[in-house]
Amino acid sequence: MKRPLNHPDYRITQLSEDSCLLRFTPAEEQLPSAELQQRICNFALRLQENSRELQLLEVVPGVGNLLLQFLPLCSLDAIQRQQGMLKKIEGHWAQTEDAPISGKTIDIPVHYGGELGADLEALARTCALSPDEVIHLHTAPIYSVYCIGFQPGFAYMGGLDARIHCPRKHTPSTKVPAGAVAIGGAQTGIYPFASPGGWHVIGHTDIELFNPQKSPASTLQAGDKVRFVKALS
Amino acid sequence: MFEILRSSPLTSIQDQGRSSYRHMGVCLAGALDPMASQQANLAVGNAASAAVIEVTFEALQLHSLVDTLIAISGNDFSASMTAGKDQIAQIPVYPGFAHLLKAGSTLVLERPSTAGGRAYIAFAGGIDVPIVMGSRSTDINGGFGGHKGQSLSAGSKLSTLQPSTRQLTLMESLQDSGQHRSKTGIRSIQASRTLRALDGAEAELISPTIRQRFWQEHWRIDPSSNRMGFRLKGKASTLAPYPSLLSSGVLPGDVQLPSDGQPIILGNDAQTTGGYARVAHVIEADRWQLAQLPPNSLIRFTRVSLEEALAAKEQLAQYWQRLALWQTQ
């Protein structure tokens, strides 16, 4: 049987009866460049806008990759349909640029430290910095939302200053509160819902990150820019 | 309108699930055994998409305030009902048959015949809860959908959508003839312990020895398994230093192999992205069986091609077509 031809920019792996993964960087590699990730997010947005024509049910950006799930079909037609659609999708990739589409930048006020940012001091010690220096380094960059996952509305963000990278906890906390702003490895994120978690919680925000009654339900989308701002408490 | 008198913390309202929001981190949810939920819906004459109660592991009891038509499918819970207000005689409720549940009656699902298996209760018209992000399913982790985003508990009050003319006619004819149930029913399907699976997305990153062992081993379903995932334990632990992978979208049915070598089959409520190597993907036609296998069951995987997976799906679609045809006769 014919398998889809790989594109010079990505490799296609079949995931299930009706879905495949487009990999722009090898799975075991380091993070993709910010430009490439931005282009993947723009590509995802473009495919979502054309999802009806492309018969796509799900378009899910990951880090350096993109999951595509087509509308369910029985029978061997599904293979031919997928091949045809992947050809069209290739055309969309060629027309996608790496410049941010909407340029949406969201300011997120954060209350650093205290009871709801209980790991701030420990993280500062690990990084040989003062808590104020950690706050300064965390609020300085403009972050890129790489993808949403783990929880509804949970944004994985890249752009964290290397001085405050910190390996995940050996033993995850049993309950990280909703709104927790945290650092895990080279990434930072916010927990929209209370859950167990292995990231270091350095503060919390009051803004709503996910509301199923709103459209879009998730405040942050892959490709958005985020700035953390120290909240006045 | 009916009221839950007794429930378990894992019993919830589900339909066919929530699609096209995975890029926002929203899981599929939906009936873990879509075969059984669809059978229950078909037995009462509902569309396959109607919302049902997924009864998980423990007893359920409810009280109906109106005349309605119900059907139960999936795991046999030795169900029974009373025949209206102030009646105490218990009438058996057979899986796969439509039953007339009269106003004032109590429906009891006593105990599962197979530990760990799930039952589905369909009501004529389908359960009326708001559609949230395209589905009536309960997203238990996100706390939305279904009945106020939560599992059902004693005191939960629910209502159904308007039954169709056909359903009302069947209710009337049962009422007039003094019968409790429909003449014909739908036979349950036995869950198999061999699951067909495709190669996983990162199979080639896993050493051939470990991959081979994965396909040969009899895996035990750990009792900690739930709607998010089925954890498997093998005889020999296959510790391997897998590289940590860049996060990518994952799907229900994906079989992840974390570094402890104990696979996890992702369930309907699994998170939408992951970073573990995927050794296999359980095909859609076989996935429902996981909802019905008791804890500590031993299962195996058989490797199939994409063509075989699609043929199995096609076969299932034909089964539903035949049933639907029978139902409208």
The DSSP-derived string for B202-214 is: TGGGS-HHHHHHH
Which residues in chain B have Cβ-Cβ distances shorter than 8 Å to A46? none
Which residues in chain B have Cβ-Cβ distances shorter than 8 Å to A149? 25, 247, 249, 271-274
Are A149 and B309 a contacting pair at CB < 8 A?
no
Which is nearest to B211 in space by CA: B221, B223, B222, B202? Answer: B202
Q: What is the pLDDT of residues A23-41, one digit of tens each?
A: 999 887 778 888 999 999 9
Residues B36, B76 contacting (CB under 8 angstroms): no
Mean pLDDT of B97-112: 96
Residue to mutate among B21, B24, B268, with most A CBs inside 10 A, is B24
pLDDT at A1: 42
Both structure tokens of B228 = 């998010």
Q: What is the pLDDT of residues A125-166, one digit of tens each?
A: 999 999 999 999 999 999 999 999 989 999 999 899 999 999
Which is nearest to B74 in space by CA: B186, B213, B201, B225? Answer: B186
How far from B281 is each of A39, A103, A214, B222, B262, CA to CA, in Å?
29, 37, 33, 19, 15
Q: Helix H segments across chain B?
A: 34-44, 165-177, 208-216, 284-287, 306-328
pLDDT at B238: 60
Nearest residue on chain B to A58, alpha-carbon basis: B20
Both structure tokens of A211 = 């509301």
- CA-CA distance, B7 to A64, in Å (whole number)? 44
How far off is chain B from A66, nearest CA to CA, in Å? 7
Which residues in chain A have Cβ-Cβ distances shorter than 8 Å to B245? 27-28
Which is nearest to A71 in space by CA: A62, A59, A63? Answer: A59
Residue to mutate among B22, B23, B206, with most A CBs inside 10 A, is B23
Are A63 and B247 a contacting pair at CB < 8 A?
yes
Residues of chain A with pLDDT under 70: 1-5, 101-103, 233
Q: Give me the residue from A65, A74, A148 closest to B246, CB to CB.
A: A65
- CA-CA distance, A179 to B36, in Å (whole number)? 38
How far off is chain A from B175, nearest CA to CA, in Å? 40
Both structure tokens of A15 = 């995931």
Residue to mutate among A10, A12, A16, A49, with most B CBs inside 10 A, is A16
Residue to mutate among B20, B28, B246, with most A CBs inside 10 A, is B246
How far from A224 is each of A47, A185, A204, B198, B306, CA to CA, in Å?
17, 21, 20, 35, 36
CB-based contacts of B329, cutoff 8 Å, min separation 6 = none
User: Cβ–Cβ contacts within 10 Å for residue B273, how many?
Assistant: 26
Q: Is the pLDDT of residue B254 over 60?
A: yes
Q: What is the pLDDT of residues B2-30, one digit of tens each?
A: 999 999 999 999 999 999 999 999 999 99
Are A16 and B25 a contacting pair at CB < 8 A?
no
Are A74 and B313 a contacting pair at CB < 8 A?
yes
Which residues in chain B have Cβ-Cβ distances shorter than 8 Å to A216? 24
Q: What is the pLDDT of residues B23-74, one digit of tens each?
A: 999 999 999 999 999 999 999 999 999 999 999 989 999 999 999 999 999 9
pLDDT at A2: 44
How far from A206 is each of A108, A109, A154, A213, B25, CA to CA, in Å?
9, 8, 15, 18, 20
pLDDT at B237: 59
Q: Which amino acid is at B285?
A: A
Q: Please give the share of chain B, as a percent, with pLDDT higher than 70.
A: 97
Are B246 and A29 a contacting pair at CB < 8 A?
yes
Q: Give me the residue from A17, A29, A63 closest to B284, CB to CB.
A: A17
pLDDT at B105: 97
Are B23 and A151 a contacting pair at CB < 8 A?
no
Are B19 and A29 a contacting pair at CB < 8 A?
no
Compute the C-alpha angle B36/B39/B40, nearest 5°.
90
Q: pLDDT tier at B259 (50, 70, 90 boundaries)? A: confident
The per-residue pLDDT of chain B, averaged, comes to 93
pLDDT at B101: 97
**Backbone angles phi and psi of A187, in degrees to 5:** -120, 160
Which is nearest to B294 in space by CA: B221, B233, B188, B217? Answer: B221
> Whose structure tokens read 């299930």?
A16
pTM over 0.90: yes
Nearest residue on chain A to B26, alpha-carbon basis: A152
CB-based contacts of A37, cutoff 8 Å, min separation 6 = A31, A63, A64, A144, A146, A158
Size of interface A-B (CB pairs under 8 A): 162
Q: Give me the residue from B132, B202, B251 closest to A27, CB to CB.
A: B202
Which residues in chain A have Cβ-Cβ distances shorter than 8 Å to B270? none
Which residues in chain B have Cβ-Cβ distances shorter than 8 Å to A69? 22, 251
CB-based contacts of A213, cutoff 8 Å, min separation 6 = B132
Task: Give the least confident one: A147-156, A201-210, B255-264, B265-274.
Answer: B255-264
Are B24 and A218 a contacting pair at CB < 8 A?
yes
- CA-CA distance, B248 to B197, in Å (whole number)? 20
Q: Which amino acid is at B213?
A: R
